[in-house]
Amino acid sequence: MDYVIKIRGIRRDFPLGQEVVKVLMGIDLDIERGEYVALMGPSGSGKSTLMNILGCLDTPTAGTYELNGKDVSNMTDDELAEIRNTEIGFVFQTFNLLPRTTALENVALPMIYAGASKSQRKLRAEEVLSDVGLADRMDHKPNQLSGGQRQRVAVGRALVNKPSIILADEPTGNLDSKTSDEIMNLFDEIHRNGNTVIIVTHEEDIAAHAHRIIRLRDGMVESDTRIK
């Protein structure tokens, strides 16, 4: 099997005064390259904490995490920053776009950190914006775009460095139902193109787009179901 993610015995504890809050209780999880996974669970289940670890935004208290064959569980902050930029494409509920820069500049931003030349950045950002249906909006700033268009820019930015995984946290949380459908159809297309997609959501209709649903409860995997 070609696993893009392999985690073993992942625990995450948070000190709170004299107490220690145990959020993840020893999770084992494998995700194959090219899978389409929804991560679900009620508030307090640990799904956001697990997402932060999968996205190399946080490190586990114990356990190992291999991403694309590299053990990232004990990396330094600088090493994690490089992994985040090259291996993971993030899409957030709140878009997280720079307000004073164009769609093209927002999408090209991760390539600056990756050391790409200006001409490489422009060419790749134009290609990605065309792929997400915004060829005619490249010079627009976020306040000139609808919510759905802003999320498309965010998806383009996530794709620009050709990452190992696309990690989306409640990507339709700020969108109406019609626009949500459009964005989820875009994720379906991204998956068909061969990307590994992980969507964190509490909405069953959003999770239904995925081919596998992993449900967390009380810091443990409650169920792991393939649905397609």
Per CATH, is 35-47+76-226 categorized as 3.40.50.720? no
Mean pLDDT per 10-residue section of the chain, whose length is 228 residues: 94 94 96 97 92 94 95 90 92 91 96 92 96 96 95 95 94 92 95 95 94 97 93
| Four-point Cα dihedral 109, 111, 117, 120, nearest 10 | -100
CA distance 30 to 63: 14
**pTM attached to this predicted model:** 0.93
Predicted local confidence at residue 74, as pLDDT: 83
Report whether 209 contacts 37 (CB < 8 A): no
Give the pLDDT of residue 205. 93
Instruction: Report the C-alpha gap between 58 and 209 in whole angstroms.
Output: 27
**Residue 210 confidence (pLDDT):** 97
